């Protein structure tokens, strides 16, 4: 300030005070016209200043109504304010998002642009801030989150359906190959043998023709039950065709082949169809050993096991019809 200005101020002190008041009035008018809540509060939560928008946000008619309240009264979660003050003790500004509760009990989300004003002796003199209502954004985010969750659940169901056989609950062909390849990689790391069994229900077409497809389905479900109950949980089992099943089992070298087939044969022999005492379940099987250190496509082994299975089936037919 120049010497002339200081002389003029001394001659007209009232004019300077009027200019200061005019500036303050313009500032207050600006704050009142802002479309956001503006506040000043003390450390203990007392309102010092508030604009009309903030009053309406919190469910009051006038800013003066807030001076009878404490900031803490509006927090849905009191710990939110504790966290904010803790952050402001080491930072001059924070921009948290949290829920508030209006005087009528309704909740809404806000983003708080808060600034700590230091006292001359240190600590906080007061807190100035701007509150923006972000309820619409939070609602949209929540809807999007729920939609994405539903989509994830739907995709998982579709993926499971695409890998599972709906009648037996076993893997379908795609699921068997998918999990089977993983099993072969594990066996290679563990240096274990894999045994691939190809199984076909004998005379299923004749059963369907004589007893109906519902009884044929019982045989298919029976085979699935036998395989699940007699094999290990880690074994990969699948229905890979109409009456065809496959098993990929990891066993120690030289001791798994016979026991694997005998357990399946025992389960098949013990199976009975309720209401059809004369009907017997019969299957033909082919088994190949897979050395995981000599990795080939699973299709090659399946084709070989399929060939061995049909050899057993033809042998049965020759025994039943020796002519």
Q: Which residues contact 255 (CB under 8 A, 6 or more apart)?
A: none
Judge residue 282's burial from the number of C-beta atoms within 10 Å of its C-beta, 0-12 exposed, 13-18 middle, 19 or more buried: middle
Alpha carbons 154 and 96: distance in angstroms, whole number: 34
Number of residues that this document lists for the chain = 323
DSSP 232-268: -TTSEEEE-SSSEEEEEEEE-TTTSHHHHHHHHHHHH
Residue among 193, 235, 243, 306 flagged as catalytic:
243
Helix, coil or strand: residue 112:
strand
In degrees rounded to 5, what are phi and psi of residue 237? -125, 140
Alpha carbons 195 and 262: distance in angstroms, whole number: 14
Instruction: Name the DSSP letter for residue 34.
Output: S
Q: Which residues contact 42 (CB under 8 A, 6 or more apart)?
A: 48, 126, 127
- Are 207 and 279 in contact by the 8 Å Cβ rule? The answer is yes
| 243 a catalytic residue | yes
Catalytic residues: 243
């Amino acid at each position: 300030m120049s010497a002339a200005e200081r002389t003029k101020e001394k001659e007209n002190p009232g004019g300077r005070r009027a200019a200061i008041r005019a500036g303050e009035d313009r500032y207050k008018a600006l704050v009142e016209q802002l479309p956001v809540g503006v506040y000043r509060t003390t450390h203990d939560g007392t309102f010092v200043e508030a604009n009309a928008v903030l009053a309406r946000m919190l469910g009051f008619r006038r800013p003066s109504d807030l001076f009878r309240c404490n900031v803490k009264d509006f927090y849905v979660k009191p710990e939110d304010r504790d966290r904010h003050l803790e952050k402001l003790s080491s930072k001059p500004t924070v921009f948290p998002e949290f829920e508030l509760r209006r005087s009528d009990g309704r909740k809404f989300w806000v983003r708080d642009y808060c600034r700590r004003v230091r006292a001359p002796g240190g600590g906080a003199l007061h807190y100035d801030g701007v509150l923006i209502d972000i309820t619409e954004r939070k609602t949209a985010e929540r809807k999007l989150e729920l939609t994405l969750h539903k989509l994830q659940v739907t995709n998982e169901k579709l993926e499971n359906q695409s890998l599972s056989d709906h009648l037996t609950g076993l893997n379908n062909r795609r699921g068997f190959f998918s999990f089977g390849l993983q099993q072969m990689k594990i066996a290679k790391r563990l240096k274990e043998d894999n045994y691939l069994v190809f199984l076909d229900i004998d005379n299923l077409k004749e059963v369907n023709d004589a007893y109906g497809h519902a009884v044929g389905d019982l045989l298919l479900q029976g085979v699935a039950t036998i395989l699940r109950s007699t094999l290990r949980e880690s074994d990969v089992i699948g229905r890979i065709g109409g009456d065809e099943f496959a098993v990929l089992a990891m066993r120690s070298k030289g001791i798994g082949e016979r026991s694997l087939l005998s357990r399946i044969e025992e389960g098949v022999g013990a199976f009975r169809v309720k209401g059809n005492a004369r009907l017997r379940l019969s299957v033909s099987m082919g088994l190949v050993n897979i050395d995981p250190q000599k990795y080939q496509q699973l299709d090659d082994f399946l084709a070989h096991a399929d060939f061995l299975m049909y050899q057993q089936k033809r042998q049965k037919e020759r025994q039943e019809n020796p002519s």
